[in-house]
Structure 1
Amino acid sequence: MELDAVERETPGGVPSEGAVRVLHVTECWGGGVASAVHAYIEATPGHDHWLLMARDAADPLLDQESLLRGLRVFADGHLARIRDVAAAYREIRPDVVHAHSSYAGFYVRSCPQVPGERIVYTPHCYAFERTDVGRPLRYGFRLAEALLAPRTGVVAAVSPREAELAARIRAGQRVVYVPNAVPRIPAEQGVRERSGATPGIPAEPGSTGTPAERGTPERSKLVAVTVGRICAQKDPAFLAAAARAGDASTRWVWIGDGDPALRRVLRDAGVVVTGWLPRDEVLAMIRTADVYVHTASWEGAPVSVLEAAGAGLPVVARDIPALRSLGVPDLVATPAECARAVRDLRDDRRREDARLRLADVLAGHTPRLQAARLARAYALALGAA
C-alpha cells in the first residue's frame, strides 16, 4: 500500500559515502520532539535523514533544513500509520528507523517489514509516566512497552531516568544515553535593562496606560517565564497556584498556547499568556526574562530547560524523576515553594549563583557528546559496535 500522504523532497545534498540513511518517525511533531530531531540531524550532517510525521506542521525549519533529505506525512488512524511505516521503509530503504515518542514506537515496532534490530527508539518520556490517566491505563502502556521491547534494537534515552526505565522493561536491552544539548543562545545587547519595559513581553492582564501611569515601572518586576503547550503534562494549574502564592513583585508569563480551559486558569491567576510565537521571538523573550519556571508533572529531558540555561537564566523546576536524574538543582515540590524560590531570585547574587549551579550541572550536555552517543546508537543498530 502506498503512503496515504504527501511527499516533499528537500534541497539536501547527496549523502557522503558511508552515510547512514535514517528514517525518523514521529506522530507528535512540535515542541521538544521537533527540537530534538532537528538537533540529531544537525549533530550528524553526514547522514541521510528522512522524516515521517503526523502532519506538515508550520515549522519553517522543515522547509529550510538542508540536511533533511525528504518528508512524508502520516495518514490518520493507527492501522493506517503502521501501513505508512511499511510503505516508507519499502520506498526509502533506510539503514535505521528512529522512532520518536511512545506512539511512534508502537507504529514502527508493530510493522513486521522493519527489522527489529534496525529500530532505534527514543520515547522522549514513556507514556506510562503520565500522571493525567488512571493506573489501569498506565499499566496498559507499560505492558505494551514490555511486549514490544523484543522488537527494539536500541533505546536512545534522553535522560538517565529514561535509560533506567528502558533497562527495567527488558533485561539485556541495549541502551545508549543520548543527552539533549544545551544550545548557545547569545544575549542581545541591551535586552535585560531593568529600568525599561521588557521587550516582547505583553502587558499584564487588565493593565492600562504606560508603566509610569500605572505607578510601577514594569521592568522593576522580576519576570518569570515558561514555554510550551498549555496541556495536562505541563500542569498550568501548578504555575497558576504559584502565581497566586507569589506577590506583586513578579510577572508570570506563559509563552505558548493550548487548551482553552487551562489557558483561562492561567489568566485568572494573572499569568500573561502570549499565544504561539515564532521561535526567534520565543528565544528573544527568554533572553529578556530573569528566571525560567518549569512545572511539568512528567518529562523526558525538557529542551526548554536547556534553552533557558543556554540563554543564561536560572531555572526553578518541579521535582520530578526526570529532572532529578539530570541533576537540575533547586527543585521544588509545591506551588508555594515555587513562588518562594522565584521571589528569592530577585536578589542579584542569588540569581547568579543559581545560574552558575545550573550551568555547571549541564556543562556536559554538548552537541559533540550528543553526536558521539547518537553515532554509537546507530552503530549498535547496524551491528557495527
Structure 2
Amino acid sequence: MIFIGTYMKIVHVVEPFASGIATFVQSIVQNLRDDHHIVIHGERECVMRSAEVIKYFPEDNVQFIRWRSAQRSISLVKDTAALVELCQLLKNLKAKKMVDAVHLHSSKSGFLGRLACRLTNIPNVIYTPNGAPFLLSNVNAMNLLYKLFEKLGSAFGGKVVCSSRSEQTAYRKLGIRALNINNGISISENRNAAKLNPVSTARFRIVTSARIVQQKDPALFNDIAACFKDFDQFEFIWVGDGEDRHLLTAPNITITGWLPQAEVLRLIDGANLYLSTSQYEGLSFSVLEALSLRKTVLLKDCIGNRDIVRKGLNGDLFTSKQEAIVKIFQYYNNPAMLQVMGEYSGWLCHKEFNVDATCLLYRDLYKRVVINK
C-alpha cells in the first residue's frame, strides 16, 4: 500500500468494467489510498456484473458512477449518446471541483473520454489502452479504422501510457507519442491466496485464464489441446467464459466459467504450465499472476506477451501450433527444468512487474499532468 504526497481526486473512465481492465483500476485504487477515486463505468453483464467487480475495491476512498449509455460495439447513435452522457458526468464533477486528473482505460473509453474532456475543457488526461485494438483484426480495413480512431483520439489531447514496451512501440509506429508504465501485481497477496486451498492433479495441467474472445484466439488453444486428446496424462483448463466458447471443442479441455479470484489463483498455482494463445495484449494480468506463482509460461509471440518472456529462462514464445506442441512435450519430459524456470518467473515478476512500482509511477504522472495543465 502506498501513501505519498498531496491528496488528489482521480476520475477513472472505463467501459469494459471486467477482467483485466477492472483488475488494473482496482490495483490503482487499492494502492493509492491517500487519494479519492471516482470510477465512471459501463457494464459487461456477460462477463461479470459491476456489483460483483465493486466488491473487490476498498470502501473508503472510491465512489462509483454508472455510465449507462456505454456499450462495447461501435454505433454512431449509441456512441453519441454515451459521449453526451459522459460530458454531463464530467461537467458535474468539474463543477464540484472533483477532478484533478482523468484516467481513461481501454480504447472505447480512450476515444470518447478524450473527446469529452476536450469538450468540457479538462486538459489533465491520461489514456491507458491495455491492448492496442488496431492489432486484432485479420481484416486490414478494420485495422485501418482502429488506427484512424487512435490517431484522431490522440489529437484531442492527453498522454498515452502503454502497459508494455512492445505496445508503446506499436503506438509510436503510428506516429502517436506514448509513455510506458508496466502493469504490476501484488506478488505476496497472490501467493498467499493460492496456498489457502491448492488445487492439485496427477496429470500435467496446462492452464489459461481469460475471456473466451477473438483476441485470445481460443481456436488456436483448441487446436493445440486437440493434439493431446489421446494422451491421458495431459489436461487443459480454460478459466473464464465468453462469446467464442463454442470454439473450445477438444474433449480434454475443461471450461470453468468465471470464478472468484482466489479460486483462479489456486487453479493456476496447481498447474504445470501457463499457456497464452493471445493475438495481442497490453500486458496480461493473468500471465503476471502465473509469474508471481512461479509458473513457467508458454506464450504466443505477440505484442505484450513478448515483454514477459525471457526465452529459455522463464518459458518460451511460439509462433505456430507445432512449436507449442513441441515445447509442451519438452516441458513434460523435463520437470526439473520447469521448477528452475518457475523460480526465475517469480524473480522477474518481483523485479519488473511489481504493483508498488507501477502505482508510484502513475501517482507521479497524475501529479505532473495536474501541475502542467
Q: Is the 8 A contact 1:49 1:67 kept in 2?
A: no
Instruction: State the 1:134 CA deviation.
Output: 1.1
Q: Does 2:322 match 1:336? A: yes
Instruction: State the 1:151 CA deviation.
Output: 2.2
In structure 2, what is the Cα distance between the partners aligned to 1:364 and 1:16? 21
Q: Is the 8 A contact 1:327 1:361 kept in 2?
A: no
Instruction: State the 1:345 CA deviation.
Output: 2.2
Instruction: State the 1:348 CA deviation.
Output: 2.1
Residues 148 and 250 (structure 1 numbering): CA distance in 2 closer, same or farther, change over 3 Å?
Answer: same
**Aligned equivalent of 2:297, options 288, 303, 315:** 315
- Report which stretch shifted further, 319-328 or 370-379: 319-328
Q: Is the 8 A contact 2:216 2:277 kept in 1?
A: yes
Unaligned runs of 5+ in 2: 70-77
1:370 corresponds in structure 2 to 358
SS of 2:222 mapped into structure 1:
helix
Instruction: State the 1:269 CA deviation.
Output: 4.3
In structure 2, what is the Cα distance between the partners aligned to 1:82 and 1:23? 16
In structure 2, what is the Cα distance between the partners aligned to 1:16 and 1:314? 35
Q: Is the 8 A contact 2:17 2:43 kept in 1?
A: yes
Residues 267 and 72 (structure 1 numbering): CA distance in 2 closer, same or farther, change over 3 Å?
Answer: same
In structure 2, what is the Cα distance between the partners aligned to 1:134 and 1:226? 26
Q: Is the 8 A contact 1:308 1:315 kept in 2?
A: yes
Residues 275 and 65 (structure 1 numbering): CA distance in 2 closer, same or farther, change over 3 Å?
Answer: same
For 1:364, give the aligned amino acid.
E
1:135 corresponds in structure 2 to 140
Q: Count how many residue pairs are aligned between Structure 1 and Structure 2.
A: 342
1:85 corresponds in structure 2 to 86
Q: Is the 8 A contact 2:164 2:283 kept in 1?
A: yes
Q: CA RMSD in A?
A: 2.4
2:262 corresponds in structure 1 to 280
1:9 corresponds in structure 2 to none
2:63 corresponds in structure 1 to 70
Q: Is the 8 A contact 1:41 1:67 kept in 2?
A: no
Q: Is the 8 A contact 2:17 2:50 kept in 1?
A: no
Instruction: State the 1:328 CA deviation.
Output: 4.7
In structure 2, what is the Cα distance between the partners aligned to 1:368 and 1:190? 24
Q: Is the 8 A contact 1:27 1:104 kept in 2?
A: yes
2:30 corresponds in structure 1 to 42
Unaligned runs of 5+ in 1: 1-14, 193-197, 200-218
Residues 300-355 of structure 1, C-alpha deviation per residue, up to 9 Å, x if partnerless? 10000001111221111111122223445311111222222223223221101221
Residues 15-49 of structure 1, C-alpha deviation per residue, up to 9 Å, x if partnerless? 99932211111111111101111111123111110
Q: Is the 8 A contact 2:217 2:279 kept in 1?
A: yes
1:351 corresponds in structure 2 to 338
In structure 2, what is the Cα distance between the partners aligned to 1:265 and 1:144? 30
Q: Find the structure with the greater CA-based Rg.
A: 1
1:249 corresponds in structure 2 to 233
SS of 1:354 mapped into structure 2:
helix
Residues 253 and 54 (structure 1 numbering): CA distance in 2 closer, same or farther, change over 3 Å?
Answer: same
Within 5 Å, which residues of 2 pair with 1:295-310?
A: 295-310=277-292
